[in-house]
Amino acid sequence: MLKNLWTRTLCALTVALACASAHAQPTPRGAFAQPTPVKPYLEPAIARPEQDKAAAEKLAALEKKFGRKPNILILLVDDMGWGDVGAFGGGLLIGAPTPNIDRLAAGGLKLLSVYSQPTCTPTRAALNTGRIPTRSGLTRPTLSGEVLKANPWADEVTAAKLLSAAGYRTALSGKWHLGEGDGSQPHQTGYDEYYGILSVISDLSQQLDKRLYPDLMLRPERLADLQKLSPAAITKGRKGGPLEIAERLTTTDELGQIDQKFADYSEDFIRRMAKDQKPFYLYHSFGRLHNDSYPAKGYEGKSPAGFPQRDALVEVDDVVGRLIKVLQDTGQLENTLVFFTSDNGGNEDLMPDSSYQPFRGGKGSTWEGGVRVPGIAYWPGMIAPGRVSDGLFDLCDMFNTPLGMAGIADKIPSERFIDGIDQTSFLLADEGKSKRDAVFMYAENALMAVRWMEYKLHFRVFLNQAAHRNLDESINVELGMAPWVYNLYMDPKEQSSQGHSRFEWGIPQVLQRAGRHSATFEKYPRKDIGLRKPGG
Amino acid sequence: MLKNLWTRTLCALTVALACASAHAQPTPRGAFAQPTPVKPYLEPAIARPEQDKAAAEKLAALEKKFGRKPNILILLVDDMGWGDVGAFGGGLLIGAPTPNIDRLAAGGLKLLSVYSQPTCTPTRAALNTGRIPTRSGLTRPTLSGEVLKANPWADEVTAAKLLSAAGYRTALSGKWHLGEGDGSQPHQTGYDEYYGILSVISDLSQQLDKRLYPDLMLRPERLADLQKLSPAAITKGRKGGPLEIAERLTTTDELGQIDQKFADYSEDFIRRMAKDQKPFYLYHSFGRLHNDSYPAKGYEGKSPAGFPQRDALVEVDDVVGRLIKVLQDTGQLENTLVFFTSDNGGNEDLMPDSSYQPFRGGKGSTWEGGVRVPGIAYWPGMIAPGRVSDGLFDLCDMFNTPLGMAGIADKIPSERFIDGIDQTSFLLADEGKSKRDAVFMYAENALMAVRWMEYKLHFRVFLNQAAHRNLDESINVELGMAPWVYNLYMDPKEQSSQGHSRFEWGIPQVLQRAGRHSATFEKYPRKDIGLRKPGG
């Protein structure tokens, strides 16, 4: 038996990890609901024709009522842990009530099994392109002032681009972090308008906070290049136009205001759209909860916990409430899908001022704490209130799903592989189930783990060198003889692998899926844009 | 500074741990809301006269309406982890929805900071007597067939006894686990009636399950004494009468039915009480979720997860729903405080069929995972729906609180120390706050940790020898130079002590409380009933 398992594991690991020589394995039928190939360049999906029909009817009735396609509002928080949200077990528990976000969860569909990538840039790449980062090359956070070998956006297509072409007004308000160079900026990649920051809060604070970064800030010769390449500023742009400085940031107090400014921009955008004849796609991408946290005016000590991250969480919740209210005030709430989520798990390396997840690991790891994020789909009249589902949802599905809702799924380009799945009917049908069969979890270019049903099978894992160091001091190691398997219903904290003793029946199923997944790289090769590890 | 801290720490540790020589320290005033001494034999409480008045008015109006004192229904689940309940972040997440318990939480007061003792017997002792276990001597689980040096109940007084004397009908339905010998049985210690098991499910299953206990079951010479001293049976008794066998349990199938039988008994009791003129105090003490789990009829595989513990969780939830419905059907719902909780954290040693808590550690430890339990106070018309509080609540408060609600707080005996606090007004006043200032956490006779505000300060900790072994293979160790301190708002998983770097201001506060607490042992000595460690 051991030999048998070993042979199977090795065989599939070969397929999964050394993709160049991989071959698609035949799909056995009958045993389980298997995903159905839709098109050769699309991730196979579980066929659910009845709920597709129900969702299509709802959308048709809504279009008739409003005379246009529905709006999409994506609320992406930075580094928010699964447990930060009250409705997911946090809130007051961690000294930061989140009543507005909780109301969305109670009034819509609470998604318990939404998966991101382990860090910022990869998740944002997946959400914008529908492709896992190893395909686009955006496999790790881009760094301020870093010059890439190739522009990832030369041949990637965002959902915003397709929606803009189909008559939507598309906007990014807030954090981009998908390339700062010419050709990589949001208004050059599909967004009709952009207002925000090209990188990330910490790239700005390191130019502003002497207390945290004395080794940089007090050495002008170190700071000079950085300030030239990536000045601390809010920038903006319109499709076809140049990148402009909207506002230079010269103090941490000013930096602390950025989420208020992003909210102002989004609020203005939503108000403008109410008067427009076009549907909109607004990607509201918070600067918070990423370090470093500087309180906006009135927020210092506002949370019961009183720490900066918790005050920032309270501010994020307030902004969510503000934007929902504007949708309501402008009569657009019932014609807008609101999708709330985070770009990765909370960063526990920041202890004690860190986000919270009940799971093992945090940002930067492929343990649940790094990649399982809160997810809420809210749409009064379209999504029944009080729904809760643990159906699988990968944030790359948020490429396909808006396109599905806008009726332009047929505009998805066919010469590249798309990992996302159109989850429109999962979200909209009253008894909707996920159409996703598996989630493939990556760290950079390595397939680390696969989630299937309630199981998670690891090929490689992150080990912490210190108690809670996930991003800064963890190591990525290969497993011994058998994969590690956790039943996430029984062991949500991934404490006790039960692969060999209790999951032999399922391992071949997961390996077969990993094999099929890896085989896609044969026809659709990965890109290297210069983010690979030196020597890697 | 280090020396100073060290001196202070040592000083207070001496006070806290070597109680014989301890002296009460003067209470400094002004800096924080300090608890006020009520009576010398009562734990000091934070004075909240306005909310006390509001609660008293509510109770008076209710008594006028119903013409009697209110009923008390305590629902105590065995070994339920904080995260098992949907409203506390579990439920569907762990493959076991708990809609009935969630409804109680949504319709009443969800208590985020309820503390038990780390194991069964100690918590039950605290809840019944209002005294921490080191006072009553019930410091660890009694074992089947174990003969104690002294009957703990010779001089302990239960809430049931005081309520019975004051005209209540008192009943225990389900698990006792506070002594099996003559004089220690529930109908001899204050319960007018009793139907249940004297020990714990695993003490029964070890006599019934050959697959789990072949080393005992297949060796008749080992089994004989056990079967004689503590036969596998449901027992019953009435005040003044003998202990009777209600039903012998001869198979695991029969054992699987016990919670249904306890529910039948409680249901019948509640129906009887509706016709009676007396108020009631019903302590419904589940056999589940303690190992070993055998499904009741119709429950095998009923949970989405399909594992026995999860099926048991679904059954517990159904029983909660059943009992609430009987209260409603008999017109008593608005005259009954329902208090739902668990006796300690989930037992993670049972992986993979184990309960879940998002915190560090599990049953048997004084990490949050061992002692922080779900708590819900539900009382339509008396407790405003939708309340959530992280105010401190120790399960020994459930001695005083029912007495307070019944108007017999003055009947609490004065010759012993009572650690519980009357939390009536915390539960009933619409903006009620906890009157508890600190929770003292024990393992057997050792003061392990103190919770104060959002901080937890450890003097000793449990370390796991294996990844998730809390009860069976952990060791209890003394700390190094400084206590470990966790800010539970910022670090609910107790990952990163911040005592010396960020809590120097508060350590003297906590030490002063530990000193005051330990000084109580001078006047009120601890008891040794024979449960101390051999050689200890």
Q: Chain A residue closest to B489 (CA)?
A: A94
- pLDDT number for residue A501: 84
Cβ–Cβ contact B422 with A under 8 A: no
- What secondary structure, in 3-state letters, does B449-473 show? EEEECCEEEECEEEEECCCCCCCCC
Read off the pLDDT of each residue in B176-191 and give the average, rounded to a whole number: 96
In terms of Cα–Cα distance, which of B283, B210, B307, B293 is closest to B257?
Answer: B293
CA distance A139 to chain B (A): 29
**Rounded to whole angstroms, how far apart are CA atoms B67 and B336?**
13
The region, left, alpha or beta by phi > 0 then psi within -120 to 50, assigned to residue A401 is alpha
CA distance B490 to chain A (A): 6
Question: Hey, what are A62's tokens?
Answer: 């809504």
**Rounded to whole angstroms, how far apart are CA atoms A416 and A529?**
17
pLDDT digits (tens, 9 = 90+) for B442-483: 999 999 999 999 999 999 999 987 777 899 989 999 999 899
Q: State yes or no: is A177 an active-site residue.
A: yes
Question: Hey, what are A99's tokens?
Answer: 């009543």
Q: Which of residues 346-365 of A touch B (CB under 8 A)?
A: 348, 351-354, 356, 358
Q: Which of A218-227, B55-64, B306-315, B341-350 has the lowest mean pLDDT?
A: A218-227
ipTM: 0.90
What are the residue numbers of the active site of B?
A: 120, 177
Chain B residues inside the 8 Å CB shell of A495: 348, 351, 467-468
Question: Percent of chain A beyond pLDDT 90?
Answer: 86
**Rounded to whole angstroms, how far apart are CA atoms B31 and B53?**
26
Chain A residues inside the 8 Å CB shell of B451: none
DSSP for A351-398? Answer: TTS----SSS--TTSSSHHHHEEEEEEE-TTTS-TTEEE---EETTHH
B178: cis peptide before it, omega within 30°? no
pLDDT digits (tens, 9 = 90+) for A297-316: 999 999 999 999 999 999 99
Alpha-carbon torsion angle A464, A467, A470, A473, nearest 10: -70
Cβ–Cβ contact A305 with B under 8 A: yes
In terms of Cα–Cα distance, which of A313, A300, A321, A384 is closest to A342?
Answer: A313
CA distance A199 to chain B (A): 27
- pLDDT number for residue B16: 43
DSSP for A96-143? Answer: ---HHHHHHHHHSEEEEEEE--SSHHHHHHHHHHSS-HHHHS--S---
In terms of Cα–Cα distance, which of A282, A330, A281, A385 is closest to A69?
Answer: A281
Q: State yes or no: pLDDT of A232 exceeds 50.
A: yes
For chains A and B, what is the number of CB pairs under 8 angstroms?
112
Contact A491 B358 (CB under 8 A): no
Contact A307 B358 (CB under 8 A): no
Residue A35, classed as helix, strand or coil, is coil
Suggest the residue from A350, A493, A505 to mutate for an interface test with chain B (most B CBs closer than 10 A).
A493
- pLDDT number for residue B256: 98
Cβ–Cβ contact B307 with A under 8 A: yes
Chain A residues inside the 8 Å CB shell of B304: 454, 489
Q: Chain A residue closest to B502 (CA)?
A: A352
A490 burial class (0-12, 13-18, 19+ CB within 10 angstroms)? buried
Beta bridge partners of B440: B450
- pLDDT number for residue B147: 83
Q: State yes or no: pLDDT of B26 exceeds 80.
A: no
CA distance A319 to chain B (A): 22
A268: cis peptide before it, omega within 30°? no
- Indicate the pLDDT class of residue A22, thresholds 50, 70 and 90: very low
**Rounded to whole angstroms, how far apart are CA atoms B130 and B411?**
13
Q: Chain A residue closest to B90 (CA)?
A: A89
- pLDDT number for residue B536: 58
pLDDT digits (tens, 9 = 90+) for A45-95: 999 999 999 999 999 999 999 999 999 999 999 999 999 999 999 999 999
Beta bridge partners of A245: A235
Suggest the residue from B111, B489, B500, B505 to mutate for an interface test with chain A (most A CBs closer than 10 A).
B489
Question: Hey, what are B212's tokens?
Answer: 């789990």
In terms of Cα–Cα distance, which of B275, B276, B264, B371 is closest to B319?
Answer: B264
Residue A534, classed as helix, strand or coil, is coil
Q: Chain A residue closest to B111 (CA)?
A: A93
Residue B151, classed as helix, strand or coil, is coil
DSSP for B269-299? Answer: HHHHHHHSSS-EEEEEE--TTSSPP-PPTT-
Per the CB < 8 A criterion, the answer to whether B499 and B485 are in contact is yes
CA distance A92 to chain B (A): 7
Alpha-carbon torsion angle B456, B460, B465, B471, nearest 10: -80
What DSSP element (H or E) covers A476?
strand A474-478
Contact A454 B490 (CB under 8 A): no
Task: Return the residue matching tokens 């990188």.
Answer: A199
Q: Chain A residue closest to B89 (CA)?
A: A89
**Rounded to whole angstroms, how far apart are CA atoms A387 and A111?**
9
